[in-house]
Amino acid sequence: MSSQNYVKIFDTTLRDGEQSPGCSMNLAEKLRVAEQLEALGVDIIEAGFAIASEGDFEAVQAVARQAKRATVASLARAATGDIDRAWAALKDAKNPRIHTFIATSPLHMRVKLEMEPEAVLEKIRASVSHARNLCPDVEWSAEDATRSDPDFLCRAVETAIRAGATTINLPDTVGYATPETYGAMFRDVISRVSNADQAIFSTHCHNDLGLAVANTLAAVAGGARQVESTINGIGERAGNAALEEIAMALRVRHDVMPFDTGVETREITRASRLVSAVTGFQVQPNKAIVGANAFAHESGIHQDGMLKDASTYEIMTPESVGLSESSLVMGKHSGRHAFRQKLEELGYKLGDNEFQDAFKRFKDLADAKKHVYDEDIIALVDDETMRDNQAIQFKELEIYCGSHGPQRAILTLEVDGEEQTVTTRGNGPVDAVFKAMRKIVPHDDAQLTLYEVHAVTEGTDAQATVSVVLAEDGRTVRGTGAHVDTMVASAKAYANALNKLIVKRGRSELPAVARTGN
């Protein structure tokens, strides 16, 4: 493939994606996602914002040490302390990148930075030069580029490249652009900046108007050769450009967009499901590429066409994105060998102890369910592996409910290694369970703002996946749990949220500008 037509995939699920309200990942979860991103074939993994907290630093450092092929990046403001902290976290990476940014729009410079344009240019020169003295690969971003003065933006880009930036990112920070204006901005900057040939230009699009993917593709046509995106399009506000949509658009419409990526598209579904399991953000059924209905056909006309030739209504195959039809091949009589083979088919590589634990849970599930689908196994494994090393562990639950309340819950949790059991009554079984949670782990300031239940598969014996969102002092966290008993899934989800709340409480509070980034 021609290097001129190769588009690098920069994934920021672990950084910008994690800034979604209610989304937070612990270290083990971030490492699992990073491993899957490498399997997916992304070129750059933005592992976090090293100076944001000790937890963020440790996550960036751990991903940097784990990555075998991908470049690992950390975001940093245009400040010496940020850049030094980013480098300290990245220095063990095989391919490190410092990603520093500053705003360039008149509004942001005046209101947020309170700096004159010339001072901003000097800040760019100093910060990029300092980063380049530490790391050979430096990316610079012009925050709010799409609302910046074109002449000043060109001066800023030229300054950054002269100072040593090897990648220039022109983000649509607030989702303001249209495909025509965003593509034109890239063509304009690349043609006007004298040293533009010394850097790769990058996109970073937010989805406030639902145009993030369209804008990204327009920028690629305009000369960008790196795209920043997230799995399932998660991110602040309305989210980011969805990696899977960009990758498949470039693959399916290669006739009009002759660009290549390193994405192994058969890993897309696995990546999507993993991120959903980790974050608790369910993908809507009609989501492109990875939604439950993406390859479903109900209309009689469509079904007739599909039976004759699938290409009548499918422009890509389910197999091309790693989606296989669920098969009823596993049950209570299935042995260890068959279960291990099924796990490998689904993309799991478990150690001996993890496998034995998973097999026991599978047998328990098979006893409870008539049929075990692939989705059941995915939910079973993801749900349990997300809970390693958490301070609060679900142990046991009994529920007494019926038409005559109040309902009663007897809940046992393990908190810091010590089991505690309480009995509570509530207005319904869910209320009783959550009151028991509050009794064992007091958190009076945290409010339950969302409670959702989804069935993993069809049937009355389907596993339930439950999501809960807790809000406390401006922080929001989302917890998830899966089980054939909805109340058990609810308790596990709430415990998961409490563990994430503990993590967020430990994070240092940065100014809004720091948490925003691009």
Nearest CA to 203 out of 214, 192, 216 is that of 216
Which secondary-structure segment (H or E) carries 53?
none
**In contact, 409 and 423? CB cutoff 8 Å:** yes
Whether 86 and 60 have beta carbons less than 8 Å apart is answered as yes
Is 84 annotated in some ligand binding site? no
Asked whether the beta carbons of 33 and 278 are under 8 A apart, the reply is yes
User: Annotated binding residue at 485?
Assistant: no
Joined together, the tokens standing for residue 197 give: 């040939």
Query: Residue 240, annotated ligand binder?
Result: yes
Q: Which strands make up the sheet holding 475-483, listed edge to edge? A: 447-455, 464-472, 475-483
The residue written with tokens 């989805």 in the block is 207
297 marked ligand binding residue: no
Strand partners for 227: 9, 203
Can you list the positions of beta strands (E) in 43-113? 44-48, 71-77, 96-103
Block residue for tokens 């006309």: 301
Q: What phi and psi, each to the nearest 5 degrees, are found at residue 430?
A: -65, -45
Alpha helix (H) residue ranges in 91-211: 106-107, 117-134, 150-163, 179-192
- Does residue 451 sit in helix, strand or coil? strand
72 burial via Cβ count (<10 Å: 0-12, 13-18, 19+): buried
Can you state the angle between helices 243-252 and 268-279, rounded to 10 degrees?
A: 170
Q: Report the b/e string of 258-277 with b at 16+ CB within 10 A.
A: ebebbbbbbbbbbbbbbbbb
What distance lies between CA 369 and its chain's CA centroid?
31
Q: What are phi and psi of 71, to 5 degrees?
A: -70, 140
Whether residue 80 contacts residue 129, with contact meaning beta carbons closer than 8 Å, is answered with: no
Residues within the annotated binding site? Answer: 16, 204, 206, 240
Residues within the annotated binding site for Mn(2+)? Answer: 16, 204, 206, 240
